Amino acid sequence: MKSCSAKERKNHTGEILRQVGSGEKVLITKRGKPCAILSPIENGPVDDKSIRLFQEAWSDIERTLRTTRPAFKTWLGAMQWARSRG
């Protein structure tokens, strides 16, 4: 199994995905410690209930946004708050 750092994965995503697409598993490390494995889908689509279609997930996000109040009146308020946290 090939190994690469999270930074290498970020900088060479296309190349790594081609390797995974050709059947190779890739171990991703973060600060030298294993954190994830990229592997090809063996038997067609993943049958995992936690993975949803984009349209379904986006509908849930929009529904939630309609029922909640924004934390800031304007985007400038949000920017000022974010910058003051630093």
* Phi, psi dihedrals of residue 37, rounded to the nearest 5°: -125, 125
Give me the pLDDT at residue 45, please. 62
Separation CA 22–CA 33 (nearest Å)? 25
Closest of 44, 45, 27, 23 to residue 36, by C-alpha: 27
**26-72 pLDDT tens trace:** 999 999 999 999 988 775 566 667 677 888 889 999 999 899 988 89
- Beta pairing partners, 34: 29
* pTM greater than 0.85 (yes/no): no
pLDDT at 15: 94
The CATH code belonging to domain 2-38 is 3.40.1620.10
Per-domain boundaries in the chain: 2-38, 54-84
